[in-house]
Amino acid sequence: MGKLLMVIGRGTMAQAFSDFTGNNNFLIFASGVSNSKETNQEAFLREMTLLQESLKLYPHLHIVYFSTCSIYDTEEQHSAYVQHKLATEQFIQQTNQNYTIFRVSNVVSSTLQHSTIFSYLAYHIKHNLSFKLWKNAYRNILGVEDIRKIITYLLSQPKLSHNEIINIANIRSYAVLDIVKVMETYFQCKAQYELIDRGKYFEIDTSLIQNIAPKLGINFDKNYLLHLLQTHYPIH
């Protein structure tokens, strides 16, 4: 028998948790629909089918599933993507004795291809491309390295994470206009956008993150967005 595959997926989150491959305790399911604008039901069905097959293969393992903080956004709550994530959460809770569901905010990574708000904005500003911007919108931004640190720590603390749904997010959300300003300064160019009167602020409970971030050396200070840009969008 070959090496057991305990990390399902090949994308950003799967790569971040690649050190769990061969782990005999956790099944990291990181092969889901990543595009929050997805509406194709076949894509959602493929994720659910793969999840069911994976659980049958590894029924003894603690399942780790990545959901989304968009669940708290009243403008996204009824989207096909959020409804799919909620249904999948419920399925896992009803069928597994050992699980942790992490609701993750907007991921920043060097491997993402404009499928998140941060990468989308960075690409358009850097290349002087025009885009539409929701002037009242806020987005919670978190680097993939910090996501890995937080989740790895929580999985090592069963009292905190066993059979729980946990928000993995920055302790603050940013107005998209402020994100654009930071990027304009960093890339030294003026963003070309049309303001749309849409968007609103929504709360994400990050009390747990506030308690453990200092232990992990994660600093959500005023330079956090700049640090992410320097890490993932270096200027040569």
CB atoms within 10 A of CB 27: 26
Examine the pLDDT at 101 and tell me if it is beyond 60. yes
Q: What are the pLDDT digits (tens) for 150-160?
A: 999 999 999 99
What percentage of the chain reaches a pLDDT higher than 90? 78
17-21, 28-32, 133-137, 206-210: lowest mean pLDDT where?
17-21
- Tell which CATH classification among 3.90.550.10, 3.30.365.10, 3.40.50.720, 2.120.10.30 matches the domain 7-232: 3.40.50.720
- Strand segments, DSSP code E, in the chain are 7-8, 26-29, 62-68, 99-104, 106-108, 130-134, 138-139, 141-143, 164-168, 174-175, 192-196
Question: So where are the chain's domains?
Answer: 7-232
Instruction: For the chain, give the mean pLDDT.
Output: 92
pLDDT higher than threshold 90 for residue 19: no
The pTM assigned to this predicted structure is: 0.93
Nearest to 27 by CA among 49, 48, 9, 2: 9
Residue 113 has pLDDT above 80, yes or no: no
- R_g (Cα) of the chain, nearest Å: 18
